[in-house]
Structure 1
Amino acid sequence: MKNNEIIKIYPGSIAEEVGIEKNDKLISINGNPVKDIIDYKFLITDQYINIEIEKQDGQIWDIEIEKDYDEVLGIEFKDFILDKPKSCHNKCIFCFIDQLPKGMRKTLYFKDDDSRLSFLQGNFVTLTNMSEEDVDRIIKYRMSPINISIHTTNEELRVKMLNNRFAGKAYGRMKKLAQAGIEMNCQIVSCPGINNGSELKKTIQELYKLYPSVQSAAVVPIGITKFREGLPKLKLYTKDGAIAEIKMIKEMQKKFIENSSTPFVRLSDEFYVIAELDVPESDFYEGYNQLEDGIGMIRIFRDNIENNLNRLDLHKKGTFTIITGVSAYKEIQNAANKIMNYNKNVRIKVKKIINNFFGETITVAGLLTGQDIIEQVKDEDLCEYIIVSNNMIRKGYELEQNSDKVLLDDITIEDLENEFNRKILICDYSGEDLIDIINSCCKEE
């Protein structure tokens, strides 16, 4: 184990009781070396364990512990996974990281393809940058569910799309995982003229053959930034193309619902925005477990505003500027109008930010940068408070020990507050806490 230094001991924990201290190092559990956090979580579950600890003075302590099954020791390690995350060796034609400009923070260019992060954090893996031993380890430790970026089940096409000669093995590995009872969720980045249309239909049908081990499939449209020099030329979805995809998928969903009572595959909200069609009703999203893929965000936001509107305090007044991207602007403006109609003393201005940093083809709020916000908001007549959604805040492995609220270009929320001389309020992107935020910041009439 490379990064086994302990940085925190929880008060009242087993670790504190047996004398483990900050900066000690974990050597082994029951005589087994600990490769990473998955080994640790697996080995620590027993009721009787023997752990080796290296103290700061170099002494080795051999500690016997009796505890409840699955009871934790109460420690945190310096590195979240006790190892470096595995990197991706694919060269996907649609990879967003390859479309980043030069000069950004190094960690933004790191492509992880790590099944441990898939299990622990919900990251997606391609099943391409791993050995058969890695696949067997997923099965041994019951690392389930696993999120998989599949894109196509056509072996030859997948090799071309991922630019990896081993990429065609993925569906076979998924069969092996399904036979072992490992649950999977799949993501497909759909590229017009490459893996959409009939290819997309075939991929979805192949994935459905592994249902219920493959629990769901999410389809998202390709995102193209202005930084694609030297990369393959790709097309964006047009309105007609998005409508055709929605129509095709809708027919498949009907059959899946008839057979299994679930749509199984869902398109991201972006398809409906491009097609200028309304998103499906709430029941269609079955608990909204694909929100991270941008699926159901519009509907859950709309429902949360509608369901919580009656909690708006009519005896208070206040003014707010909400900052959002192009895709969500219309929905946010509609919500603002509902709130202002319900309480005439609340004023909300919605500011749409054009993504000049990545290019105007990138329209989602989650990819807005601080510099675009500053440039386009600095001359605005701002309200008392500014509200931004939490999906603008950069998240990821490299921030595990970093509590700063940082946007993609390393501009912080504090930087924006200083720039605008306004308090910035961070709202859940689902809108669940928007009414509470407005109530708490408004003043009595």
Structure 2
Amino acid sequence: MIPLTRSFPPPLDQLHQWRPGDQVTHLDGRPLEDILDLYYYTPEGVRTTLDIRSADGETATVELDPGDIDQVTACFAPMEFKTCACDCVFCFVDQNPEGMRDTIYVKDEDYRFSFLYGNYITLTSLGKRGLERIKEQRMSPLYVSVHATDIDVRTRMLGIKRRMDVVAILRDLCEAGIEIHTQVVLCPGWNDGAILEKTFRELLELAAPPEDGDEVFHAVSHRGHDYDGQEGDAVELSGNGGVRSLAVVPVGLSAHRKNLTKLDPVTPDIAAAAIEQIAAWQTEARAQVGYGFIYLSDEFYLLADTPFPATASYDGFGQVDSAIGLTPRLRATWAEELEWGAEDGELPTRPLTVLTGELAANAWRREFTPVLETAGAPPVELVGVANTLYGHTVTVAGLLSGDDLRRALLELPASPARTVVLSPRVFNSDELTLDGMTLGEIAADQPHQVLVGEEDGFVAFWSQLG
């Protein structure tokens, strides 16, 4: 059933007057679980009927002309995601400090949101009905947190009682034509070494070589693609199921781990060893399936102070939302944009001060500053902001608090001519930081101009500043 939150727009409002508690229950007599059912089962080019039940139990049926369904869905309540029942040893939600927004402490585990937005799920709460629905409605691709294919290791890492064979579930989905991107959060001493190799090899067995003309990955981010039971505009699928990739990211450890399982961080030496090992496995994968298959997040290369692989080795940057190749992709994009700007006489002219996480500041100095200098761009002053909310071990920009950013701004020498740019990753879709601050609150009473930058299109953003 799908809750309504307001009346249908004119002239459809003549069909049904909304009241609190009304729910759409059936489409052409078929029970509806959520809006995905509605999109999937709505026939094209013919009239349809919706059954609506009110809070007091009254029922009504309305007829819709072809094309009306999009107007109707705007009146539906947003889908609520199902929550995670795992107790993962590495879960970052458990490492949040107290006093944050309630949503910060919510763990999602919903295959529908994995399909729609690229959220990673463990499959632990999938159930037979969910499995069959994924296959029937072709919810592909999915994003699965595997962490280890060894059943005992995965059971301990996820903190679950029921032993489940994730490889068997993935195989079932792959054979039904579902494409899957997978992830391992690397925890030294838990799922590295021989366990990681087992994971790589068992997932590689489920990989399907792309057909001629098929993209291994999507040209743009998966998040937010259209859903009509077929391919969305941002998704190009081969129609063949298979595990398409394995992303390896380092465990994140905050200062708030009291009473949690002791975990060791990924050190520079561990990162260097992982880089060497994954490079060898990529060579093996390319020989077997035609692409690299397994990829390390940028943090490994920055930790080990090792050059990034060539951009072509990322095979289309399909896991860039997990920071897999984000830095080299931006470096290549910015270099190209600066070259175009030079040709058109539209290079940026204003010096900038960039406030970002310590990891990103390191990436700027190492990867982006040489590109800017080569292009003749103005200087960029980099400020790596220390994270007092989560502790010094957390260095990514997306986990900076508004309070830390404001503190860093106050420490800058006052200058009305200074333009300060903040990373867009510190704000959520509601334009709030983790501690609930807005840009206006962060920049209040500052003598400098404070702006939120862009990642894609950064050079154009910079050039427009004058």
Band of TM-score, shorter chain: 0.7 to 0.9
Alpha-carbon deviations, 1:10-65, whole Å to 9, x = none? x9xxx759756777753421122322122222122443321234699998653333
1:208 matched residue in structure 2: 204
Q: Does 1:361 align with 2:393?
A: yes
- What is the rounded CA distance, in whole Å, between the counterparts of 1:207 and 1:272 in structure 2? 24
Query: Structure 1 79/167 Cα, relative in aligned 2: closer, same or farther at 3 Å?
Result: farther
Given that 1:5 and 1:26 are in contact with CA atoms closer than 8 Å, whether structure 2 keeps it comes out as: no
Query: Structure 1 7/121 Cα, relative in aligned 2: closer, same or farther at 3 Å?
Result: farther
- What is the rounded CA distance, in whole Å, between the counterparts of 2:364 and 2:167 in structure 1? 40
- What is the rounded CA distance, in whole Å, between the counterparts of 1:71 and 1:33 in structure 2? 16
Q: Does 1:223 align with 2:249?
A: no
- What is the rounded CA distance, in whole Å, between the counterparts of 1:7 and 1:385 in structure 2? 46
Q: Does 1:63 align with 2:62?
A: yes
2:462 matched residue in structure 1: 438
Query: Structure 1 323/148 Cα, relative in aligned 2: closer, same or farther at 3 Å?
Result: same
1:119 CA displacement? 0.7
1:425 CA displacement? 3.1
- What is the rounded CA distance, in whole Å, between the counterparts of 2:449 and 2:439 in structure 1? 9
1:263 CA displacement? 0.4
SS at match of 1:168: coil
1:145 CA displacement? 0.8
- What is the rounded CA distance, in whole Å, between the counterparts of 2:96 and 2:180 in structure 1? 29
1:38 matched residue in structure 2: 36
- What is the rounded CA distance, in whole Å, between the counterparts of 1:162 and 1:168 in structure 2? 11
2:161 matched residue in structure 1: 165
Query: Structure 1 314/269 Cα, relative in aligned 2: closer, same or farther at 3 Å?
Result: same
2:383 matched residue in structure 1: 351
1:171 CA displacement? 2.0
1:75 corresponds, among 46, 60, 73, to 73
Query: Structure 1 241/7 Cα, relative in aligned 2: closer, same or farther at 3 Å?
Result: farther
2:234 matched residue in structure 1: none
Q: Over aligned residue pairs, what C-alpha RMSD do you find?
A: 2.7
Alpha-carbon deviations, 1:346-377, whole Å to 9, x = none? 34322111112101111111111111111122
1:409 matched residue in structure 2: 435
SS at match of 2:444: helix
Q: Any residues of structure 2 matched to 1:82-231 within 5 Å, and which? A: 84-212=80-208, 213-231=242-260
1:315 CA displacement? 7.7
Query: Structure 1 42/314 Cα, relative in aligned 2: closer, same or farther at 3 Å?
Result: closer
SS at match of 1:420: coil
1:123 CA displacement? 0.5
- What is the rounded CA distance, in whole Å, between the counterparts of 2:111 and 2:346 in structure 1? 49
1:197 CA displacement? 1.3
- What is the rounded CA distance, in whole Å, between the counterparts of 2:448 and 2:2 in structure 1? 44
Question: Percent identity at matched positions?
Answer: 29
1:139 CA displacement? 1.1
Given that 1:90 and 1:163 are in contact with CA atoms closer than 8 Å, whether structure 2 keeps it comes out as: yes
SS at match of 1:223: coil
> For residue 406 of structure 1, what is the amino acid of its counterpart?
L
1:252 CA displacement? 0.9
1:244 matched residue in structure 2: 273
Q: Does 1:283 align with 2:312?
A: yes
More strand by share: 1
2:425 corresponds, among 366, 370, 391, to 391
1:376 matched residue in structure 2: 408
Alpha-carbon deviations, 1:381-420, whole Å to 9, x = none? 355432223222225xxxxxxxx31111111122223253
SS at match of 1:441: coil
> For residue 338 of structure 2, what is the amino acid of its counterpart?
L
Give the total of aligned pairs: 424
1:246 CA displacement? 1.2
Given that 2:207 and 2:289 are in contact with CA atoms closer than 8 Å, whether structure 1 keeps it comes out as: no
Given that 1:325 and 1:353 are in contact with CA atoms closer than 8 Å, whether structure 2 keeps it comes out as: yes
Given that 2:8 and 2:16 are in contact with CA atoms closer than 8 Å, whether structure 1 keeps it comes out as: no
2:4 matched residue in structure 1: 4
Given that 1:355 and 1:368 are in contact with CA atoms closer than 8 Å, whether structure 2 keeps it comes out as: yes
2:223 matched residue in structure 1: none
